[in-house]
Every structure is written in structure tokens, then in C-alpha cells.
Amino acid sequence: MILLTFNIVNNRNAFKNNAQLNDDEILKITENNILSVLRILETHNILATFFIEISIAEKLHPLLRKINAKGHEIGLYNAHSEIPEVEKVKKNTEDLIGKNIRGVRQKDHLIAVDGLKKLEFSYISNIENADILFPFKRLKRSTEILEENGISIIPESISPYSQIPYNDFVFQAVPMKFYENMVLETIKSEDFVLIYLNSWQFTGFQKYPFEIPFYRKYNSGRKMEDKLNAFLEWMNENELPFARIKDFIF
């Protein structure tokens, strides 16, 4: 099973040559990137899970309604929020879409499992930092879903032979044929492949003055859209199953 997920997060990088974009302009870039992703998913009839960063969720209600209306799952992405803010945004988002928010994703700032259990999350999908050397530092570890205090803990997926993780940078950087082989070899030995991408990867950095590492510009923007489109087309041609996380877990 392929679990395709997207993190809706603003680009927090600095700007080149003293250029500036205000918060509304950056938020609009994020929104437009996700709208492009939604069009690609709809073209291939693929459902995915979107994790909205908590600090911007209240500002993107129209986008969240559209994601929900397309049949995708919405979870929360906790970048730096404490429990009271997480609880507030979770309730407001549930009221907005008329559905329970089951999943939460974290990276640097981790709220303990007990705290997330009290907020009535059903699963945690934590991720790690990914830089240019990150894929080559990983060692073999368990990719099985565990349960702690009634919450499912979903690990990042790793290719069982190459030991390369399925993080956002790997999808952007490696050749598509190699990536497809990674997916096929993983499906043969694992129950699922969890793939995640970030909304800012679909930004046209030639147009906007963000200061980002050279390796993050590679295959970004329109090239990232084309790569996602090609991957989903390959998925369907090979009749590979896909699911929202909540459907797979429960």
C-alpha cells in the first residue's frame, strides 16, 4: 500500500538581496502550491493525506474545505506549538470540515504520546530532518507500525535494500526510475510505503526571492509537479494500491 502524504508548511527561509515577502504573500504561495497538487491528484484519481501546519491552519480555511471536499484526509503538522494551541486548532478544524482529525505529524518539536492521546489523536506520523547527506546516514531500523497508549506510531519508510528513506528530499533528488524501483522493492517486503512531500517544494524559486540551498532548488517548482504527475501515472499503470493513512490504519 502506498500512503502519499503532503505537509502544508510555509517556506521559512531568508530572502536574497534584501528582498522581502510579507506573511500574506508567503501564505498565498503555499496555497497555490497545494492547489496545484490537488489538480494533479484529481487527474489520477489518487487520495492522499495532508498535514496542515498548526500556525497557519486558521488562515487557510478555504483551502482546507477544498481538500476535504476532494475526499482527502486532513491531519495536523506540529512545528512548534504547545498543547493548548494544538487543541484549539484541532477543534476548529474539525468543526470546519465536519470530521475528526485523527493524525498528527511532528519533527523537531515533539509532544509526548500521552499528551496527544488526551487530544484524541489516533495516530502519530513523525518525520526527521532531511538534508543533502541525510539519506546516506541511515541505518536499518524497524518500519513496523507500533502502538503506544492506544495510539498507532507510524515510522518513516525505508527502502529495505538501498536503505534510503522516503523523505521529501529523496523524491525530489533521485531519478524517477530509481525511485520507482525503490517503491517496488519495498512493497514486496513491507505492508506500506509512506511518502511525504512539502508544499514549498512546488515553489518556483526562480520567481520568488527565497534563499535556499542549491540542492533544494533542483527539480523544484514546475519540475516537481511534473515528477509527481509522472509518479502517479506510473502508480496507476502498475495498479499499485494507495490509501489515506486513516483508511490503512483503521
- What's the Cα-to-Cα distance from 68 to each of 28, 49, 62, 99, rounded to whole Å? 19, 10, 10, 9
Residue length, the chain? Answer: 250
Grid coordinates standing for 92?
476548529
> In angstroms, rounded to a whole number, what is the distance separating the alpha carbons of residues 151 and 36?
32
> What single letter denotes the amino acid at residue 48?
A
Largest CA distance in the chain: 50
Q: 97: buried, middle or exposed (CB in 10 Å: 19+, 13-18, 0-12)?
A: middle
pLDDT of residue 130: 55
pLDDT of residue 102: 97
Sign of the dihedral through C-alpha 173, 179, 182, 187 = positive
Contact between 55 and 9 under an 8 Å Cβ cutoff? The reply is no
> What single letter denotes the amino acid at residue 132?
I
Grid coordinates standing for 228?
509527481
pLDDT of residue 31: 96
pLDDT in tens, the chain (250 residues): 999 999 999 877 655 555 678 889 889 999 999 999 999 999 999 999 999 999 999 999 999 999 999 999 999 999 889 999 999 999 999 999 999 999 999 987 789 999 999 999 999 998 875 555 555 555 555 678 989 989 999 988 988 878 888 999 999 999 999 999 999 999 998 999 999 999 999 998 888 877 887 878 889 899 999 999 999 999 999 999 999 999 999 8
Domains delineated in the chain: 2-249 (3.20.20.370)
Contact between 245 and 155 under an 8 Å Cβ cutoff? The reply is no
How does DSSP assign 207-234, residue by residue? TS-B---HHHHTT-THHHHHHHHHHHHH
List phi, psi (to 5°) of 93: -70, -40
pLDDT of residue 179: 95
3-class SS shares of the chain: helix, strand, coil, % to 5? 45, 15, 40
pLDDT of residue 208: 80
pLDDT of residue 15: 59
pLDDT of residue 30: 94
Task: Say whether 168 sits in a helix, a strand or coil.
Answer: helix
